[in-house]
A and B are shown apart, each in its own frame.
Chain A
């Protein structure tokens, strides 16, 4: 009986859903006037990023990445707080969900890293990365939100002028993982942590020795191999998310009046996004265990 009762929609939920749908449709109708005139308008702007500030790198910033990042972090922290408040031996639904995700990653970590303390630290980093990337990709995949259309023009002095058009609910959220700033930072963090754990687990001398193994001649190759790790690590995620977005956008125009685009969004948003989050955290564990083992 209780099961049946829970599944039925309450009056409050019905009102909320109705209000949400009315707002959603209204915003959609308002957004119609901003629709691009031709596909090339959109496709030409796909590569553009909203970058604020001119000059050296430390004066420039990508506001969209930071805004979405904050939203993602807020969602995760709010969820975690809701779980934390009612944490008990017998889990409720939220806790069971959170625990199944953590259990899944903890199993992988435990099977690849024997040292328990390092395993716990690795688990924390990998799970944080997984949650962040998964939520970000899902937000960017199929949840309508804030997005920005940027048109680039070249100014009189040869400088680039970016014209940002702020839009609400006309597109999904901008994915922070489609910005190399995020991915490269995370990949470098993983690289640094893996070497730090390596030194901790094996000792400094053994760690240094690992660079000239199996023969000293291979030292440059080993160093290049290590440096290639964060590049491939970050580029994989970056390429998948950016490419997914571009592909969906391009295909949306080719099959404008069909129901295919939502399915593509589903693929690139939910499936591909979750897979990339999983791949990223699994590679994190693999890199750390390669250094530790």
Chain B
């Protein structure tokens, strides 16, 4: 049977196999295995880097959050301070306005008092004149001029005393 004949071809095939193994080892396997290690290293490095970047991003995020919180707190503080200030200003303005009003009112009262006084004295003077002339008409002839005057002055003095 030609099928099962083992001959020198086996030796040739062994040599060719060794040659192929040697060539492929040089051309394919060594680059492949070293590249696999290199890729593994690279992937691991990249993963580590990514993890670090993630951590850094987290830190930055926290930092930003903190500063945001701080800013908010500061803004709140400023706002409340401003509110207090505004209240104070309003209060002050109110107080000032009240005082001014009081002052104006007092002035007005004094003025009214004064005018009243003035009017009263005017009225008194007119009334005195009137009264004198009235009394003069009534008493015409009963008293002389000098006596009349003295009498009237006394009357008024008593009136004023009252």
Contacts and interface: CB of A to CB of B under 8 A. Distances in A.
Nearest to A125: B21
Main secondary structure of the interface of B (DSSP, over half): helix
Contact of A73 (B14, B20, B38): B20
A128 interface: yes
Interface stretch (B3-11, B76-84, B117-125, B149-157): B3-11
A175 B156 CA distance: 163
Nearest to A49: B2
A127 B25 CA distance: 10
Contact of A189 (B8, B14, B24, B26): B14
A278 interface: no
B23 interface: yes
Interface in A59-83: 59-62, 65-66, 69-70, 73, 76-77, 80-81, 83
Contacts of B42: 89
B147 interface: no
A184 interface: yes
Given A47-B1, A80-B28, A98-B28, A180 B6 contact: yes
B39 interface: yes
Contacts of B33: 120
Nearest to B18: A189
Interface of B: 1-14, 16-17, 19-21, 23-29, 31-33, 35-36, 38-39, 42
The 6 closest A-B pairs by CB, nearest first: A49-B2, A60-B7, A80-B27, A181-B9, A84-B27, A181-B10
7 contacts: A84-B31, A99-B32, A125-B21, A128-B21, A180-B5, A181-B13, A242-B3
